[in-house]
Amino acid sequence: MAATQNALHSVTVVPPDYCELKRLSCSQQEEVGAKGRIDNWWNSAASDKGTYSTSNYLLLRISSQSNQLSSYCSEPRTPRENGKSTFTSPFAICPSHGELESIPRADSADTHQSSSTVACNAVSCISTDLIFARLQQCIDDRDLEAGRKVHWLAIQSGLDSNAFVGSHLIRMFAHFDRLTEANQAFHRIVNPNLYSWNAIMLAYVKSGHHQIALKVYQDLQNSCPELDGHIFVSALRTCFSPVNLGQGRQIHMQAIENGFEFDDYVGSTLVEMYAKCSDLESALAVFNRLPRWRAISCSLLIGGFVDAGEEYIALELFRKMVEKDVELDEVSYISILEACSNIAALGHGRQIHALLIELGLEFDVRVGNAIIDVYVNCQRLLEADTLFHRLPVKDIVTWTTLASGYAYNGFNKEAMQIFDDMEHYGVTPNSITLVLILRACSSVSALEQGRRIHARIVECGTELDDFAGSSLIDMYGKCGSPDDAIIMFERLPKTTAIAWSALIAGTADNEEGSKAFLLFEQMQRENVIPDRALFVCILKACSDPTHLDYGRFIHCHVAESGLGTDIFLANALIDMYVKCESLEDACTLSKTLPEQDLVTWSLLIGGHVQQGFALEALQFFDKMCNEGVEPDGTSFVCALKACSSIAALQQGRRIHGQAIEKGYELDPFVSSTLIDMYAKCGSLEDAQRDFERLPKPNIVDWGALMSGYAQIGNYSLVLQYFKAMQSRGIEPDEISFLSLLAACSRAGLLDAGCAHFKEMRDNHGSVPSLKHYNSLVDIFGHTGCLEEVEDLLETIPFGNNLVGWTSLLTSCRRYFDPSTGRRSFDRFIVMDRTNATGYVLMENIYSQMGMWDDANEIEELRKYANGWKKPGKAFIEIGNQVHNFAVGDKSHKESSAIYAKLEGLNLQLQEEGYVPRVDLVMDSTSEDDKVDALCGHCEKLAIAFGLISTVPGTTLRVSKNLRMCADCHNATRLISKLERREIIVVDAYCTHHFGNGICSCTEHL
């Protein structure tokens, strides 16, 4: 210690340049340029010698810049009597120069061989102002050591007991987080004033010792009843966390008592305190009483409400602030934009954007990013993109926001393009951006791009992170490269449930269900506990009727894992059962759930519609509504589809009413399904009316209307709409051409059909699909060009075309052509040996020509092959109820009346010239049995029931899941005349409008 003190008390003989510096500092201290020149000099000196310490530099800067030098010299003070001061002070006045000298620190003095030392008994003549200035300098220079020397100086001069000096010492020590020293400084003050108390409180607040700060506050209250605003602000700052809210409220009360509540700073600190304690209500109450709204309170309050998910309150507050012309900061604008983004409030977002343009803040990169985020979340990608391109400065967030917007809205290619542009502009993507783009690659199966991103992720060094690693596995799986997925998986240092999920999902996506099961079992052996997401992945792998058993096995696992009541997983299980075509399992599971949400119901409704259980689907829909679950667009679409499939017009109207009530009528998916429903229920007037109500029909709406007219073979109307659509600037798609072709087929228009097919291929550049070819097959078949059909079928560039050959077989029956029929039949059974449709048609062809031996041979073949035919079902809606009939059904409660009516009708019909087509009946021995069998056809049962349960003249609407047979067609034609009824039958092929003995179709003439 003694050696150090000696060294410190010596005065350096400085190099010649130093004298030059002093000259400058004395003569030019008022000049602006002096500091710069001295700094320059010192920097070069320091680099030459490499030995001058920071404290020297500090001293020089102080002496050169400030007027304190003169006060330092002109007001000499007697040093303290203990005399220590002159020995240990690092600063001294050199008596021979009469000027300030610098004493190098001990360490530098040792190396400074050229320096010789002289004794100096400098007198410390210190003023409070000088100490203040020096302390400030120490803080600016981040030099604690220099600060400690000033402290020492203050002790030497006795000024440390001064409240002003002591407070600044506390402030300086607090700045360097030296709490003990700050505390010592505080206790050396003889009469601490409010400023001192505040300084020590702030020191504790700053270092996070809120309880001690509060203790100081309490001590202060005891010693000094008159507090000022600064004290309240500091005290409140100790309560910036919910645990101290009670304390905060107390301080609030004291501030009110002292009349400080409406003080600008205290008020806004109160708002801040309540906002940070998540007591937004109190924050708002204080805020509303404040005479002036400061930007900081505004931004805290808005941010608080946005974070709490109270976006609408935030928006309302923001509106008031704008009305009051409060000058808001960027943080407020960013918060309020976040609110707009969270709730997709496009209108508000646009208004705020306009305001920001006015304020010139639009191009601030953080504000710009927030605006882009609003547009992205409101699915306004064009507006997001426009602003993006206008932003003069873009950061990584800007690029990532736009790219994620494109990716989340399904524009994966665009997202990838943005990534390319970003690289082109030299912006280095971070790991988040890379993973985002990787997901876009997965969605569009862009394997090569995915590999490139993989390389970039490796460069980032995050390849083996759980997050990036699983995304890579996911990408390879989705891009059809499961082997790469496995390689990636094996490289991971730790395989978590997330990585397993990605691997299993990828395997399942590549239709390697059984492989996915093996992986699942391996994972279990490795004791990785499957989570929700993993179960969902493995369930996806089970979603095929052939994997039903494994699905049930996983179901047991889910139950064992204790996740059985998780609604998300339960829905995944129901989805699996629906896809495995096991509606029974799906229903059983749904009944065990404590509650069923919209997804559960939608799955049940959709599953039943898909598998032809329209009635059950409608029951589920009604049950859902009764249980208070609000239907959404998807469930409306499913319910309406159920109505279409059974021509339940009244039910359809009812659900339409509900859709209007809930505001879904103009939902693009619901609107087109409505048109389709009315068309399929045979009410084209309704379809037309609905279509005309649409402000801007889209291609699907046009398609639904055209296909409705195509179903009844109204070619001229289909063509008219086809042209009208094009004149409105909508390019026809394959559905529109399908409608045109279907209309030609139903109406028997060969030339027009061929012309449209050619037009589609040559003028619109569309590649015809199998459906288009089969429409052409229908058109040729319908007009009897069987040879052409056969040639066409041989050349159609698709695999097994069961539909096409069935169509030809039907035409052969119509045109009595057993030889072409037989060739078609031979082709048919090669493709599907167990489908009875081919056998039935061929047998019909033979039997209608009296070729009984051949017919019997086909019948034998069918029995041998176990040929199976989908059972026919017919539906009729009476009042608000839909009744269904199977073939030969006797289960209906009106069954006896129905059969009696049919018997009576049969006699009347035969008088009208009806001959039962017994040739169409197989499996029966006697002629009478065959006539009975024909009577039991489901559509006849439905029509008979309709006749006996409605008043004369009511139109009957019947739907059938298969094609109507020739016998029923003929009978219905005559019934319409006999009973003077309009009868509409919607079958699997077209819509028949029967009236006065004729049908609108040209099928069975």
Q: How many residues bind Zn ion (CB under 5 A)?
A: 7
The tokens for 590 are 């749904």
Which parts of 20-39 interact with Zn ion (CB under 5 A)? none
At closest approach, how far in Å is the CB of 920 from Zn ion? 8
At closest approach, how far in Å is the CB of 958 from Zn ion? 12
The secondary structure of residue 546, as a DSSP letter, is G
Of residues 449 and 711, the one with the C-beta less far from Zn ion: 711
Per CB under 5 A, the list member of 937, 957, 960, 981 interacting with Zn ion is 937
Of residues 275 and 1001, the one with the C-beta less far from Zn ion: 1001
d(CA 694, CA 688): 10
At closest approach, how far in Å is the CB of 1000 from Zn ion? 6
**Of the candidates 693, 692, 746, the residue with the CA atom closest to the CA atom of residue 721:** 692
Tokens 């559509």 locate to 939
d(CA 427, CA 633): 41
Of residues 391 and 712, the one with the C-beta less far from Zn ion: 712
Other beta carbons within 10 Å of 312: 13
**Of the candidates 671, 602, 612, 665, the residue with the CA atom closest to the CA atom of residue 638:** 602
Instruction: Output the CA torsion sign for 575, 579, 585, 586.
Output: positive
Site string for Zn ion, 886-925 (x = CB under 5 A): ----------------------------------------
Q: Do 658 and 625 form a contact (C-beta atoms < 8 A)?
A: yes
At closest approach, how far in Å is the CB of 509 from Zn ion? 44
Q: CB under 5 A: which stretch of 444-452, 598-606, 620-628, 929-937 binds Zn ion?
A: 929-937
**CB within 8 A of 742, min separation 6: which ones?**
707, 710, 711, 775, 778
- DSSP helix/strand/coil, 960: strand
Q: Where are the alpha helices (DSSP H) in 886-990?
A: 895-911, 927-935, 938-949, 966-978
**Of the candidates 613, 596, 604, the residue with the CA atom closest to the CA atom of residue 634:** 604
Q: Where are the alpha helices (DSSP H) in 343-446?
A: 346-359, 365-377, 381-390, 396-408, 412-424, 431-443
At closest approach, how far in Å is the CB of 722 from Zn ion? 24
The pair phi, psi for residue 999, each rounded to 5°, is -115, 150
At closest approach, how far in Å is the CB of 972 from Zn ion? 8
Site string for Zn ion, 86-125 (x = CB under 5 A): ----------------------------------------
**Of the candidates 384, 302, 366, the residue with the CA atom closest to the CA atom of residue 336:** 302
Q: Where are the alpha helices (DSSP H) in 409-481?
A: 412-424, 431-443, 447-460, 466-478
What's the half-sphere exposure (Cβ side, CA atoms, 13 Å) at 286? 30
At closest approach, how far in Å is the CB of 788 from Zn ion? 24
Of residues 130 and 944, the one with the C-beta less far from Zn ion: 944
Of residues 80 and 1004, the one with the C-beta less far from Zn ion: 1004
Of residues 93 and 971, the one with the C-beta less far from Zn ion: 971
At closest approach, how far in Å is the CB of 924 from Zn ion? 14
Of residues 57 and 715, the one with the C-beta less far from Zn ion: 715
Which parts of 547-566 interact with Zn ion (CB under 5 A)? none
d(CA 316, CA 345): 13
At closest approach, how far in Å is the CB of 653 from Zn ion? 25
At closest approach, how far in Å is the CB of 681 from Zn ion? 17
Amino acid at position 894, single letter: E
- DSSP helix/strand/coil, 327: coil
Tokens 């050619």 locate to 758
Which parts of 219-238 interact with Zn ion (CB under 5 A)? none
The tokens for 953 are 């003249």
- Please list the residues that pair with 999 across neighbouring strands: 994
Of residues 236 and 718, the one with the C-beta less far from Zn ion: 718
Of residues 735 and 966, the one with the C-beta less far from Zn ion: 966
Q: Do 658 and 626 form a contact (C-beta atoms < 8 A)?
A: no
- DSSP helix/strand/coil, 380: coil
Of residues 416 and 968, the one with the C-beta less far from Zn ion: 968
Q: CB under 5 A: which stretch of 350-358, 514-522, 589-597, 936-944 binds Zn ion?
A: 936-944
Which parts of 946-965 interact with Zn ion (CB under 5 A)? 965
Of residues 148 and 992, the one with the C-beta less far from Zn ion: 992
Site string for Zn ion, 964-993 (x = CB under 5 A): -x-xx-----------------------x-
The secondary structure of residue 80, as a DSSP letter, is P
At closest approach, how far in Å is the CB of 779 from Zn ion? 17
At closest approach, how far in Å is the CB of 998 from Zn ion? 9
The tokens for 814 are 């119509």
Work out whether 1001 is an interface residue with Zn ion (CB under 5 A): yes
Of residues 388 and 914, the one with the C-beta less far from Zn ion: 914
Of residues 188 and 937, the one with the C-beta less far from Zn ion: 937
At closest approach, how far in Å is the CB of 896 from Zn ion? 21
Q: Do 375 and 349 form a contact (C-beta atoms < 8 A)?
A: yes
At closest approach, how far in Å is the CB of 808 from Zn ion? 20
DSSP string of 802-821, one letter each residue? HHHHHHHHHHHHHTT-HHHH
Of residues 463 and 967, the one with the C-beta less far from Zn ion: 967
- DSSP helix/strand/coil, 248: helix
Of residues 118 and 998, the one with the C-beta less far from Zn ion: 998
d(CA 643, CA 833): 33
The tokens for 910 are 């035969």
Per CB under 5 A, the list member of 153, 315, 943, 999 interacting with Zn ion is 999
Strand ranges inside 551-696, DSSP E: none
Tokens 């009110």 locate to 256
At closest approach, how far in Å is the CB of 739 from Zn ion? 19
User: Which residues of this chain interact with Zn ion, rule CB under 5 A?
Assistant: 937, 965, 967-968, 992, 999, 1001
